[in-house]
Structure 1
Amino acid sequence: MTAHVIADDAEALAVAAGLAEAFRTEAPVRDAERRLPYAELEQLSASGLLGVTVPADHGGADVRQETLAEVFRLLASADASLAQIPQNHFVYVNVLRRQGTTEQRKFFFGEVLAGRRFGNAQSEAGTRHVQDIRTRLLPLPDGSHELTGVKHYSTGALFADWIPVLARAADDNLYVAYVPRDADGLTVVDDWDGMGQRTTASGTVRLDAVTVPADRLVPHHLTFRGPQLHGAVAQLLHAAIDAGIAGGALAEAAEFVRTKSRPWFESGVDTAAEDPLLIQRFGELDLQVRATEALLGVAARAVDAARDELTDASAAEASLAVAAAKAHTTATAVLVADALFEVSGTRAALDSLNLHRYWRDARTHTLHDPARWKIQHLGRHVLNGTRPPRHGLL
C-alpha cells in the first residue's frame, strides 16, 4: 500500500474536510444496509490522514492535537461510524510514541505512513470492570510470548493491518502486543449488532495461542508511572466524535426544515424556516453546539500545552479540560440528535430517511464511558484540589 504523506496541519484539515464531504453522501445507505466501509477506509489510508501524528523525525506532520480533534469532528459530522474506526489507530500510534523502542518506532511509524491501519483488541466482557484485563501473555523459551484471550468491542480490527492487543504478562503488568491481522490463531468475528455506529464492525477478537515476538511488545504499564496524556488524547477524540454528531444533526435538521417542513398553521408564516418558535429553538441548539465545540477546542489546546511541557500539573489540567469537553459533548450529541425530530416534525420519523442514525450513533457512542465520572473528577478538583487519577480513561 502507498499513501500520500501530509505535510502540515493546514493540509490535514483540508484533506479531512474533503473526505467528510465525500463520505457524507452514502452515509445513510451504509448505515441502513450495514454496508461496511472498506472502500472508504482505503480512501482514508491513501489520503495520508492516518499518518498525521507520526513525529517529524520519522517523516510525519506531527500535527497538533487541536488539529487532530478537528479532523475527527469533521469526519464524524459526516459519518460517525467511519470516524470511530480510526480512533484506536491514533491511540496506539501514541502508545508507540510514548513507550516504543527506537526500532519499534522506526518500523511501525513507517507502516503508518504507508497507510496501514491499527485496529484494537482491548475491552473484555464478563470481567469485574473495564480495567480487569484477563488476556494473558505467557513467556516461551525462545523469548517470544504466547497470547491467549477473547476481546469484545474491537472497533477497527476487521479492517486492520495490525491489531494492538491489551494483555497482562506473567508479572501482571500491562503490555500492548502489536499482532498482524493474519497471524495464526487470531480470528476476528464480525458479530457487532449495536443499534448505532452500525458499520464500525466492533466485534470479537479471539486469540488462541498467538505467537508474539519480543520486539512486538510495548510495556504499557510504564505509561502510568509518571505524568501522561494517554487517556486525555483518547478521550479528546471521543469528544470530537460526539461534537461531530451534534453538528451533523443540527445541519441535517436545518436543511430538513428549510426544504421539507411545513409551517404550523398558527404561526402565520409561509415557510417553516420563518416560524419564530422554530427560529428560537434552532438558536438554542446552535448555542449548545457552539459551546461544545468551544470546550473541545479548549481541551485540545490544553493537551497540546501539556505535550509541549509535560508535568503532573499540565497533565492534570489536560485531563480535566478533556473531561469537561467530554461531559458536554456527550449531553450535546444526544440532545441535538433528539431535537432533530422535535424541530422537523412527523415526516422526519420515516424510517426510509434514516435521520434516526444521528440519535442511534450518539446514544451508542456516548455509552463508551460514563460522563458522570468526568464530572465527579471536576468536582473533586475544584473543591479539594484533587488531581485526576492516571488510569488512562480520563
Structure 2
Amino acid sequence: MTARVVHDRDHALLAADELRRAFAVGAAERDRERRLPDVELAQLSASGLLAITVPEEYGGADVDTPTLIEVVRTLAAGDPNIAQIPQSHFVYLNILRRHGGDALQKLIFTEVLNGARLGNAQSEAKTKHLQDLRTRLDPQPDGSFLLTGEKQYSTGALFADWVPVLAKQPDDKLHVAFLPRDAEGLEVIDDWDGLGQRTTASGTVRLRDVLVPGDRVLPHHLTFTGPQTHGAVAQLLHAAIDAGIAAAALDEAAEFVRTKTRPWFESGVDHASEEPLLIQRFGELDLQLRSADALLAAAAHAVDVAKADPTDETTGRASLAVAAAKVATGRAALELSSAIFETGGTRSALASLNLDRHWRNARTHTLHDPERWKLQHLGRYALNGTLPPRHGVL
C-alpha cells in the first residue's frame, strides 16, 4: 500500500475537499444498499490524510487541531459514514504517540504514512456503564499477554490494518493493546444494523486468547493522571462529523428548494427560492450552522492552547469548549437534516430520494454520548467555577 504525503494545512484541506466531492456522489446509494465503502476508504488511505497527525520526526505533517477538525468536517460533508471510520484512527494515534515505545511507534507510524488504517475495539454492550470494561489482558511468564473479551460498536475494525483494543489488566488499570487485523483469535463480525451511519460497519469484535507482545500493550490509564486533552480531541472529532452532516443537509435542502420545490400559492412569487418566509427560514438555519462552526473552531483553538500549556485550567477550559461545540453541532445536525422536509415539502419525502439519510445519520451519530452531561459540566463551571473531570468522553 502506498499513499501521498500531505505536507501542510493547505495540502490537507485541498485533499479533503477533493474527497468530499467524490464521496458525496455515491453516498445516497451506499446508504440505501448498505454497500460498504471499500473503494472510498482505499481513496482515503491513498490521499495521505490518515497520516496528517503523525509526528514530524517520523515523516508526518503533524498538523494542528484546527486543521485536523476541518479535514474531518469536510469529509463528513461528503459522507459522514466514511468520516466516522478514521475518528478512532486519530484517537489511537494520539495514544501511541503518548505511550508507545520507539519500536512500536516507528512500525505503526511508518505503516500509516503508507496508508494503513487503525480501527477500534473499545465499547462493550453488556456492562453496567461505558467505563465498566470486562475485556482482560492476562500477563504471561514471558512478558506477553492473553487478551479475551467481546466488543461492540467497533467502528472501523472491519476495514483496519491494526485494531487497538481497550482492556484491563488484573489490577483493573486501563490499557490499549495494538493488534494486527489478522491476529489469531481476533474475529470482526459485520453485524451493525443501525438506522443511520449504516456503512460504518460498527459491529462486534471477539477476542479469544489473543497473544499480544508486551511492547504492544500501552498504559492508557496514565493518560488521566494529569492534565490532558485526550478526551477533548476525541469528542471534537465527533463534533466535526456532526458539523459536516449539518453542512451537507443545508446544502441539499437549498438545492432542493431551488430546483424542485413549488412556491406556495399565497406568496405571489414564481420560484420557491424567492419566497420571503423560506428565505427567512434559511437565514435561521444558516445562522445555526455558522454558530456551531464558530464554536467548533474555538474549541479546536482551545485544545491547542491546552496542548501548549497543559494545566488543570487550560485543559478544563478546552474540555468545556469542546462540550459546547459538541452540543451545538449535534443540535445543528438534527435540526438542519429535519429542515430538508420542512422547506422542501411533500416531494422531499419520497423514499427514492433518500433525503432522510441525513437525519438518520445525525440521529445515530449524536447518540454517542449524552448531550445532557455536556450541559451539566458547562453549568457547573458557569455557576460554580467547577472544572470538568478528567476522562476520555469530555
Q: Which residue number in structure 1 is paired with residue 275 of structure 2?
A: 275
Please name the residue that 1:132 is paired with: 132
Q: Could you list the per-position Cα deviations for residues 224-269 of structure 1 after superposition, in whole angstroms to 9, with x for gaps in the alignment?
A: 0011111000000000000110010000000000001100111110
Deviation at 1:215, TM superposition (A): 1.1
Partner of 2:243: 243
Separation in structure 2 between the aligned mates of residue 23 and residue 136 of structure 1, nearest angstrom:
38
What letter matches 1:157 in structure 2? Answer: A
Deviation at 1:102, TM superposition (A): 2.3
Kindly provide the amino acid, as one letter, of the partner of residue 103 in structure 1.
A
Structure-1 residue corresponding to 2:298: 298
Q: Distance in 1 between matches of 2:368 and 2:375?
A: 15
Aligned to 1:187: 187
Task: Give the drift of 1:384.
Answer: 1.2
Q: Report the Cα offset of residue 341 of structure 1.
A: 0.5
**Matched AA of 1:208:** R
Find the residue that maps to 1:147 and give its secondary structure.
strand
Q: What letter corresponds to residue 305 of structure 1 in structure 2?
A: V
The structural deviation recorded for 1:103 is: 2.3
SS state at 1:261 partner: coil
CA–CA separation in structure 2 for the residues paired with 1:314 and 1:103:
32
Equivalents in 2 of 1:384, 1:73: separation in Å? 33
Aligned counterparts of 1:243 and 1:22: Cα–Cα separation in 2: 19
Once residues 112 and 226 of structure 1 are traced to their aligned partners in structure 2, the CA distance between those partners, rounded to angstroms, is: 28
Question: SS at 1:183's partner residue?
Answer: coil
2:4 is matched by which residue type in structure 1? Answer: H
- Confirm or deny: 8 A CA contact 2:19 2:78 kept in the other structure: no
**CA deviation map 1:103-153 (0-9, x unaligned):** 222222112111100000000011000000110001112111000000000
Task: Provide Cα deviations, 1:172-224, integer angstroms capped at 9, x if missing partner.
Answer: 11000000111111100000000000000000000001000001111000000
Partner of 2:218: 218
* TM-score of the pair, normalised by structure 1: 0.99
Letter in 1 for 2:362: A
Aligned equivalents of 2:99, 2:378: Cα separation in 1: 28
Supply the distance in 1 between the matched residues of 2:27 and 2:125 (Cα, whole angstroms): 30
Query: Residue 83 of structure 1 corresponds to which residue in structure 2?
Result: 83
Match of 2:172 in 1: 172
Aligned residue number for residue 381 of structure 1: 381
Q: Match of 2:251, as an amino acid?
A: A
Give the match for residue 144 of structure 2.
Answer: 144
In structure 2, how many angstroms separate the alpha carbons of the residues matched to 1:186 and 1:330? 34
Q: Following superposition of structure 1 onto structure 2, how do residues 254-273 of structure 1 map, counting pairs within 5 Å?
A: 254-273=254-273
Gaps in structure 1 of 5+ consecutive residues: none
Query: Map of 1:46-57 to 2, 5 A cutoff?
Result: 46-57=46-57
Query: Which position in structure 1 is the counterpart of 2:321?
Result: 321
User: Does 1:336 find its partner at 2:346?
Assistant: no
Indicate if the aligned counterparts of 2:6 and 2:49 stay in contact, CA closer than 8 A.
yes
One-letter amino acid of the counterpart of residue 255, structure 1? E
Distance 2:378 2:94 in 1: 25
Distance 1:380 1:104 in 2: 41
Mapped contact 2:147–2:209 kept (Cα < 8 A): yes
Residues 69-122 of structure 1: CA distance to partner in whole angstroms, max 9, x if unpaired? 111111111111011011000000011111112222222211211110000000
Q: CA RMSD in A?
A: 0.7
Q: Distance in 2 between matches of 1:239 and 1:113?
A: 25
- Match of 2:199, SS state, is helix
SS of equivalent to 2:123: coil
Partner of 1:355: 355
- Structure 2: which amino acid aligns with 1:222? L
Counterpart Cα distance in 1 of 2:313 and 2:45: 36
CA apart distance, 1:24: 0.6
Distance 2:115 2:156 in 1: 14
- Structure 1 equivalent of residue 369 of structure 2: 369
User: Percent identity between the aligned chains?
Assistant: 67
Inter-partner Cα distance in structure 2 for 1:313 and 1:54: 27
Comparing 337-346 with 305-314, which one deviates more in the overlay?
A: 305-314
State the SS of the aligned residue for 1:143. coil
**Does the aligned pair in 1 maintain the 2:380–2:386 contact within 8 Å?**
yes
Separation (CA, whole Å) in 2 of partners of 1:121 and 1:77: 26
Matches within 5 A, 1:1-80: 1-80=1-80
1:311 counterpart residue number: 311
Report the TM-score, using the length of structure 2 for normalisation: 0.99
Q: Which residue of 2 aligns with 1:391?
A: 391
How much has 1:326 moved relative to structure 2? 0.3
Structure-2 separation of matches of 1:145 and 1:163: 16
Distance 2:85 2:239 in 1: 14
